[in-house]
Amino acid sequence: MDGLNRRSALRLAAFGVVAAALPASSVVKRALADDIFGGHSPLLFHSPPLQPFRDELPRLPILTGTSIELGAHSSAHSFHADLAPGPTFGYGELDYLGPTIESVQGQPWTLSYTNGTQGNPLAADIDVSLHGMTEHDREMTPTSLHMHGSITPPASDGHSEMLVRPGESLTHSFPGLNEAAGLWYHDHAMSMTRINVYAGLAGMNLVRDRFDSGDADNSLGLPSGEFELPLLLQEKIMNPDGSMSIRSTITVPQGKWEGGGTGDVGVVNGKIWPTMEVARGLYRLRIVNAGSYSVWNLFFGNRMQFWVIGNDGGLLDAPVYTDSIRLAPAERVDVLVDFGALQPGELVELRNDEPPPAQAASLGAVPMPLFCQFRVAPGRGFVGDVMTMYRGGKGQPPLLPPVPAAQVQRTVTVNQPSAGLSLAPPLMTLNNLRYADPDIEMPAQGTVEQWNIVNTTLEPHPIHLHLVHFRTLGRAPVDLPAYQRDNPRPDVGIKWAPDVERYVTGPLSPPAAWEAGAKDTVNTYPGTVTRILVRFPSAEDLGFDPDAVFSAPSGHHGGGAELQGYMWHCHMLDHEDHEMMLRYRLVR
């Protein structure tokens, strides 16, 4: 922590009073923080000064096969050349993160998962007051492996109550139904997801198919091998001893849920601000926002444009040429970038200029500016052009189907129950419900529903539905004061999702062009209704029963508890860990 002289301590005390008295006026608080603290707020923890580009950008190893074994284990990892190794979790052989799994459409595969962790590197940060947690969990870390975006039977989906404790194993079955796409896997244990992912439990899954085969001669003409680069983006706060700090602010005691904190250093594939030499040619970057909380507006430092050719669920019909992309937690983009247009020796940074969320900004957080650097080498790289289309042609998958018509309209809400005078919200909810509340959504198998997601908070929330893919229709502004005045919200625990249509005050803004394809996570903006069209598949479509009852090998509420269905939740991990997650069932 920065040393505070008496005068600034007095100012800080005054600031605290002002901040508490103005819970809704984050702009005022941010201005005060900037004015008083020059953007280096003593309310926040900070990483020690670190020089960028000291480490080479790691290429995560690739794991293939139809019978994969993957354990989670305790380890130690150095995030930067000038930092000692600190305690982490890793999957497989890695000290931090996991290998890139390559699977193939049409080839069922299994993943035998073992929880080999010993203790938890962030044990002191675990909030045992959250849903289902006990003191026991500090040392006996519950885990649950979720393949995000995968069409997975319920018992293998990494349900948050399907807990695998140290020494236990679970074999996940994946039927290979997804088409080629960039999926990712991460821990999903109840009330522990933010802790376990921050500790290192995340990795990528590239699904291949006969078009996007990953081979050099793929029929889409896409860069492959060394010219295809998965990039897991995260941000962190580091301690001087090389350990990670999941705490972001001094205003919340250690071991208490924070509500979400931003980092001040960018981490790519496990290294802080790394650098990589690239050949002069086209590269395919498979980017995932694997952060806990932050939305990032990504761009290249030289403002060069690039092509987005796919997102969560697979390829777009045609590339989208753009100079920036706003990526929320769990969203993925499949990007082509041409380093061949640059001169040898040029340096290009992958940067971010998204301001931090209001909650973090109110404490003095500033944008985390940088992820990594590319150094352009003299040699020529991948030779090939960007195609005008990636679907619908010869050697290409079919065009995306038309957006289906809705058979059912369903309004759901994203809420932050009143925080009173406190800076931190007490919890976050969907439909004003806690995770365990019984009044869940039960769409019928085989129907197309339009979900109208009303975000009544001051922050964006990326909403993720397990199992399904959907299409985003767009976002429209809502008169929230009138909506909430006419429909008073009852106590938490009573469902609150009033019809929103007569409170919509403006036209539907279509999604960004790159958001147009099959999505599994959508960023819902504050004060808007985000409309998505979801087809809920039937057991016949899937070849498995999505409503099957299954039981956990272990669990907070006793091993063997019967579970059913999937989850939908905010993918800000801090939020899903504190009630912004509900179950849903696909019923017959």
Residues that bind Cu ion (CB under 5 A): 461, 570, 572, 575
DSSP element (H, E) containing 477? strand 470-477
CB of 575: closest distance to Cu ion in angstroms?
Answer: 3
H/E run at residue 289:
strand 282-289
What is the nearest approach in angstroms of Cu ion to the Cβ of residue 415? 10
| C-alpha separations of 258 from 240, 248, 250, 254, 420 in Å | 22, 8, 10, 9, 16
CB of 351 to Cu ion, least distance (A): 24
Closest CB 425 distance from Cu ion, rounded Å = 10
What is the C-alpha to C-alpha distance for residues 50 and 5, in angstroms, rounded to an integer?
A: 25
Number of Cβ within 10 Å of residue 474's Cβ equals 16
- Which CB, 165 or 188, lies closer to Cu ion? 188
Closest approach of Cu ion to the CB of residue 149, in Å: 18
Contact in structure between 275 and 55 (CB atoms under 8 Å): yes
Q: Give me the amino acid identity at 181.
A: A
Minimum CB–partner distance for residue 186 and Cu ion (Å): 16
User: Which are the contacts of 263, defined by CB distance < 8 A and separation ≥ 6?
Assistant: 47, 234, 235, 236, 237, 248, 291, 294, 368
Token pair, residue 454, equals: 């009303």
Half-sphere exposure for 565 (CA within 13 Å, toward CB): 19
- Please list, in sequence order, all residues whose beta carbon lies within 8 angstroms of the beta carbon of residue 75, skipping any fewer than 6 positions away: 87, 88, 89, 90, 94, 95, 96, 200
The half-sphere exposure of 66 on its side-chain side, counting CA atoms within 13 A, is 8
Choose between 42 and 263: whose C-beta lies nearer to Cu ion: 263
Task: Compute the least distance from the CB of residue 43 to Cu ion, in Å.
Answer: 21
Nearer to Cu ion among residue 115 and residue 429 (C-beta): 429
Euclidean distance between CA atoms 573 and 356, whole angstroms: 16
Query: Nearer Cβ to Cu ion, position 126 or 430?
Result: 430
Q: How far is the CB of 427 from Cu ion (least distance, A)?
A: 11
Angle, CA of 140, 143 and 148, to the nearest 5° = 165
- Give the CA dihedral 381, 384, 389, 395, nearest 10 degrees: -110
Nearer to Cu ion, 461 or 583 (CB): 461
Query: Smallest distance, Å, CB 571 to Cu ion?
Result: 7
**CB closer to Cu ion, 68 vs 414:** 414
Ramachandran assignment for 502, one of left (phi > 0), alpha (psi -120 to 50 degrees), beta (any other): alpha
One-letter amino acid identity for 482? A
What backbone torsions phi and psi does residue 483 show, to the nearest 5 degrees? -60, -45
556 or 575: whose CB is closer to Cu ion? 575
Nearest residue to Cu ion, using CB? 570
